[in-house]
Chains A and B, each alone.
Chain A
Amino acid sequence: MSETGVQQGDAALAASADALEWPVERLIRPAKRRLRARDLIGMAPVVRTLAARDFKVKYKQSALGPLWLVFQPIALLAGFLVAFRGLADVQTGVPYTVFALVGLTVWAFFQASMTIGTASVVTNLNYVRFTPCPRPAFPIAATIASLPAFAVTAAGAIVAALVSGVLSPRVVLVPFVLVWLVTLTLGLVAISSALTVRYRDIANALPFLLQVGLFLAPVGYPLADLSDTVRAIVDANPLTGIIEAFRWTMLSGYQPSAEPLIISAVETVVLAVAGWRFFSLRETTMADDI
C-alpha cells in the first residue's frame, strides 16, 4: 500500500485520547500505480509467511513429503540418460550425468516457480478480494518456496561433480548465478501471474510452453551439437545463458559460449523491469478483475 501520508506529529498524537496503533495516514485516490519498488522491502514479513505456507502446503499429507524434491529431477535424469546419452551419444567434455544434473537443477527450479507462481494470485483469490495483502507478495513467495528444492538438487549436482572429479572452485560463485536465475524467474512470474488474473488461458498454455522450453534450452544436450538455425533459437532462450553460467561455475574444464550469456543477461534485466512495471500497473484492479 502506498503510505503517502507521513507520520503524525507528536502533538497530534499526544492530544488524541488514545495513541494510534499505527500512526500513519493513507491517502487513497485513483492511481495507475500505487506501489513503488521500495515498497517491496516492507513486504518481507508477508512474503516470508506466504512462502512458508506454499512450501508446507505442497508436501502436507504426502507420505514422502519433501523427498519429492529429489525424485522429479532424478526421473528426468533417467529419461535424459536414455534419450540423449544412449541414443545420440552426446559429447559434453564432462561426464554426462553431471552435465545434465546441473541443467536439471536450473530447470526444475524454473518449472516449479513458473507453475506455482503463475497461479499464485488467482489461487489466493480470497486474499486478493478481501484483504489489502500486497499483491506482489504472492508471486514472490511462490518463487521463494521453490528455493529449498533448488538447494537439494544443486547440492546433488555439486556432490556428483565432486565424485566425478570435475568440481570447479568457481562453485563459490553459484549464489550470484542463483540471484540471476531468481531475477529472471520473478520477472516472468510477475507477468504471467498478472495476466492469469484476466486471462485464464495462461494456465492452459503454461504446461505446454514449459514443455517446449525444456527442449529449447540446453538442459540435456550441449550447445555445440546444434545446427546454426536451432542454435539461434536456443541462444535466444533466456534460460540458456543461465544454464551455461551454472555449468561454468560448477564444472571445471567447461567452456561456456559468450553469446547466450550476454543475450540472457540483457533479457533478464528487460524482463525484470517489464515484469515489475506490468504487475504494479495491473495489481490496482486485481480485486475487481479476479
Chain B
Amino acid sequence: MEAAVRDGGRPVAIQADGVSKRYRLGEHRSLRLTAKRLARRVGNEDLPAFDALDGVDFTCLRGEALGIVGANGSGKSTLLQILSGTTLPTGGEMRVCGRVVPLLAVGLGFHPELTGHENVTLFATSLGIPRDAIEHRMDAVTEFAELERHMDTPVKRFSNGMISRLSFAIAMQLPADIYVFDEVLAVVDAEFQARCLAEIRGLHAAGRTVIFVSHDRDQVAEVCERVLWLEHGRLRDSGSPEAILDSYEHVSD
C-alpha cells in the first residue's frame, strides 16, 4: 500500500489502473424479457455492450487540481461516479485516499419539504461526514450560500439560484480530502461563478485535491494544474492545461 500511496515524495490521492465500465444496452430491464432470458438460461452477455470507460489509467497526487475534458459521452461522468462510489467499475481498480465530497449535479437530492439546514445535514450524513463536523461547518455553508435568513425555510420555497448556491456551499465547505465537480458551474450566474472559482482555488491552495470537469476552457485553465483528456472512454492525453486544451480544442473544431 505504501508504494501506491507515495509517488516521488508526494502522496497519491487517486490511483486508477485500467478502470473500465461496460453497460449492457437494450431493454433487459423489463420483467417479461427477464423471464424469457431466465427461461432460456442466458444472462446479459449476449446483449450489445457499450464501454463508457475502457481501461483508464491515471494518478492524481494529493493536493493536485486535476481537470478532465472530453466530449459528451467520453466517460467523464462515469469516471467521477466510480470515484465517488455511486457505482462500481466492471474492470480495473481505483485506489482513493481520503474522503470524497462529490458535486455531480446541482440541487438534486435536496428534499423539498425539508429546510435548508436539514438538507445540509442529510446530504453531509449521506457522505459519511460525522454530525459534529457538519454542525461545525454549518455557519460556513450558510455564509457561502448567502442563506442566513433562509436556512430554516423548506427548500421547496427556495429559488433556483438559492438551491444552486446551497449545493455549491455544501460541496465546498464540508471537510473533505477530494472535492469533485462535474460540469456544475454552468448553471449559476457569472458573479457566483467567480466566487466559486475563487473558492475552488482556495481549496487547492489549502492542499486539498480537486477534480474539476468543465466544458469551459477558461475555467479549466484557471483552476487546474494538469488536465486529462478522455475520448470514447479512453485516456487520449494528459498534461499541462495549455497543451491539452489547445489540442483538445483543435480536435473539437
| A interface list, Cβ under 8 A from B | 1, 5-6, 8-9, 12, 15-18, 20-31, 34, 42, 45-46, 49-50, 53, 56-57, 60-61, 126-134, 137, 198-199, 201, 284-285, 287-289
Contacts and interface: CB of A to CB of B under 8 A. Distances in A.
Contact of A27 (B31, B93, B123, B127): B93
Contact of A130 (B86, B100, B177): B86
A8 B98 CA distance: 10
Given A16-B11, A28-B82, A60-B113, A130 B93 contact: no
A53 B119 CA distance: 9
A31 B122 CA distance: 28
Contact of A5 (B92, B95, B114): B95
A24 to B, nearest CB: 7
A18 B207 contact: yes
Most B CB contacts (10 A, CB to CB) among A8, A25, A285 go to A25
B95 A25 contact: yes
Contacts, number: 153
Interface stretch (B1-9, B68-76, B221-229): B1-9
Given A26-B96, A30-B89, A49 B122 contact: yes
Given A12-B5, A53-B111, A198-B29, A46 B126 contact: yes
Contact of B95 (A27, A50, A127): A27
A22 B62 CA distance: 13
B86 A129 contact: yes
B63 A17 contact: yes
Contacts of B5: 8, 12, 25
Contacts of B2: 9, 12
Contacts of A30: 88-92
A130 B97 contact: no
10 closest A-B pairs by beta carbon, nearest first, are A133-B126, A132-B85, A22-B99, A29-B93, A126-B108, A126-B109, A130-B104, A287-B87, A18-B207, A28-B94
A29 B88 CA distance: 7
A287 B85 CA distance: 10
B105 interface: yes
Given A131-B127, A199-B31, A201-B31, A53 B122 contact: yes
22 contacts: A6-B1, A16-B11, A16-B62, A18-B63, A21-B175, A23-B97, A24-B98, A25-B1, A25-B5, A30-B92, A56-B114, A57-B111, A57-B113, A57-B114, A61-B113, A129-B108, A131-B86, A131-B102, A131-B109, A131-B123, A132-B127, A199-B30
Interface of B: 1-2, 5-6, 11, 23, 29-31, 34, 62-63, 81-100, 102, 104-105, 108-109, 111, 113-114, 118, 121-123, 125-128, 130-131, 154, 175-177, 206-208
B166 to A, nearest CB: 14
Contacts of A45: 125, 130-131
Nearest to A42: B128
Nearest to B83: A28
Given A130-B108, A284-B88, 20 more contacts: A1-B128, A12-B2, A16-B62, A25-B96, A28-B85, A31-B88, A45-B125, A46-B125, A49-B121, A49-B126, A53-B114, A53-B118, A56-B113, A56-B114, A60-B113, A60-B154, A131-B86, A131-B109, A131-B126, A132-B85
A127 B31 contact: no
B85 A26 contact: yes
Nearest to A8: B5
B108 to A, nearest CB: 4
Given A21-B177, A31-B88, A45-B130, A8 B122 contact: no
Contacts of A198: 29
